[in-house]
Structure 1
Amino acid sequence: MKNPRPQPAQSVTAPRTLSRVVPGPTALKALTHPVRLRMLGMLRIDGPATATQLAARLGLNSGATSYHLRQLAQYGFIEEAPHASRRDRWWRASHELTSVPASEAEGEALDLDLAFNQAILSLQVGQMQQALEEYAELPAEWRKATAADDIIIPMTAAQAEVLTKRLSDIILEAMRAAPPLGEAASQESGMVPFYVMLHAFPYPGRVPHREGEDKP
């Protein structure tokens, strides 16, 4: 009996570690500006850029984008990127993710949390609207991969927290297995940046307000 031909070993890519930033209150306040959020997203998705390049994409002047880039750099969201050209200053994102834990704070800290979430929501609504406008032009395989679902489930707060954590873990697991954003490898094998949004909240008007607070 012939010995079976040895099979080539399959290379297994270990999940990578995701770099993330957890901003403090002052840094979070700097990030609530809609232009800075868009610029940070562009640097994460498309890789390093100059103030002039970002200004052209955003329809702003380079003076405005330079100011916002300095603000992002001051709080550690971006950093200078090495580049062959010495005439222009190139910037890159310092992290892949911004993590803002669920707030248990009160007063000004809670106001900052709300302002940040409002800025994020406005950005996401704009992205969703643009995606819908482009939907008819997508290849069939990308239309099949696209979803806009909403599901309502009776749950306790503890059960809801477990569910949202499980969903987040699944999304982050997929991100760890993927090439980093902004690198050429992300364009291989038909890969494009795929936008996943997770919104989970009690159905509006169904949770009693905290004791001592009146409903609007």
Structure 2
Amino acid sequence: MTADTPAAQPAPDQESAREGTRTLDTRGLRALAHPLRIRIMDSLRGDGPATSAVLAARFGESTGTLSWHLRHLAENGFIEEDEERGTRRERWWRAVHKTHVLPTSELRKDPEARASLDVYLGQMVQDMTEQVSAYVAGDWGEEWEGASLLGSWNDLHLTPTALASLREELMAVVSRYADAPPEPGALPVTAQIQVFPRRERP
């Protein structure tokens, strides 16, 4: 699982019991809450290690801008140098954590976190929308389109406890597939899980 995950409750420590997971606190959120830095993290976790030149070309930015943001992410423990790939002339960077957990209910209590939380969630939703739009605009062929799903269920009525249970079951299923080694012919797949309450219509 490489997507950022808003959580109802924070983990007891910044490093979760699950290996490769970091729960964001106010300081970490403020360090990460920039549209380009969020996209950098998404790319490093989803597409693997990269250099500032590769990322600059990917996002249409200068290498100087990317290098500044990469240093900022490294100073705050989000990324590290991939020394096995790096050389004296180019530095490769990789994500330290596979997953970020965002304890929104706790962060909303901190006035210093509110603005950063808005930026983070806004960029997260925008990225999700762009990913879905790119899929819809593409020609994937009958096999891939037949295996894909864009669904929405608006007739569920759940308590917070039941909603949390649904979320955990869905995440467990995705994690099972994410942890399995890729088979021949596999392509990168984006799994978006969005479960949230809505106001009842009059």
TM-score by length of 2: 0.81
Larger radius of gyration: 1
- Listed as ranges, the matches of 1:20-35 within 5 Å are 20-35=21-36
Q: CA deviation at 1:170?
A: 1.6
What is the alpha-carbon distance in structure 1 between the residues aligned to residue 120 and residue 86 of structure 2? 36
4+ aligned runs moved over 2 Å, structure 1: 109-115
8 Å CA contact 1:72–1:78 kept in 2: the answer is yes
Partner residue, 1:54 = 55
Distance in structure 2 (CA, Å) of the matches to 1:170 and 1:101: 21
Distance 1:61 1:84 in 2: 20
**Alpha-carbon contact 1:21-1:95 (below 8 Å) kept:** yes
Q: What secondary structure, in the 3-state scheme, does the structure 2 residue paired with 1:189 have?
A: coil
Q: Is the 8 A contact 1:22 1:100 kept in 2?
A: yes
**CA distance, structure 2, for counterparts of residue 84 and residue 66 of structure 1:** 15
Q: Secondary structure at the match of 1:98?
A: strand
1:174 equivalent in alignment to 2:177: yes
**Structure 1 position 139, deviation (Å):** 2.5
Letter of the structure 2 residue corresponding to residue 113 of structure 1: L
Deviation at 1:131, TM superposition (A): 1.3
Distance 1:84 1:62, change over 3 A: closer
Match of 2:165 in 1: 162
- Which residue is 2:150 aligned to? 148
Matched, 1:42 2:43: yes
Contact in 1 for aligned 2:35/2:120 (Cα 8 Å): no
Answering whether residue 120 of structure 2 is matched by residue 116 of structure 1, we say: yes
> Cα 1:87–1:52, aligned 2, differ >3 Å: closer, same or farther?
same
Q: Is 1:63 aligned with 2:64?
A: yes
**Is the 8 Å Cα contact of residues 38 and 120 (structure 2) preserved in structure 1?**
no
Q: Could you list the runs of 5+ residues in structure 1 that have no partner in the other structure?
A: 1-16, 180-185, 208-216
| 1:131 aligns to 2:131 (yes or no) | no
State the identity as a percent: 32
How many residues are matched? Answer: 180
Kindly indicate whether the alpha-carbon contact (under 8 Å) linking 2:35 and 2:119 is maintained by their aligned counterparts in 1: no
Label 1:51 to 1:84 Cα distance change in 2 as closer, same or farther (>3 A): closer
Shift of 1:23: 2.0
| Alpha carbons 1:40, 1:93 under 8 Å: kept | yes
For 1:150 and 1:160, locate their aligned partners in 2 and report how far apart those are by CA, in whole Å: 15
**Equivalent residues in 2 for 1:71-90, closer than 5 Å:** 71-82=72-83, 83=85, 85-90=87-92
Give the Å deviation of 1:96. Answer: 1.3
State the superposition RMSD in angstroms. 2.0
Query: Which stretch shifts more, 96-105 or 120-129?
Result: 96-105
| 1:192 alignment counterpart | 187
CA distance in 2, matches of 1:32, 1:124: 16
- Note if contact 1:51-1:65 (Cα within 8 Å) is conserved in structure 2: yes
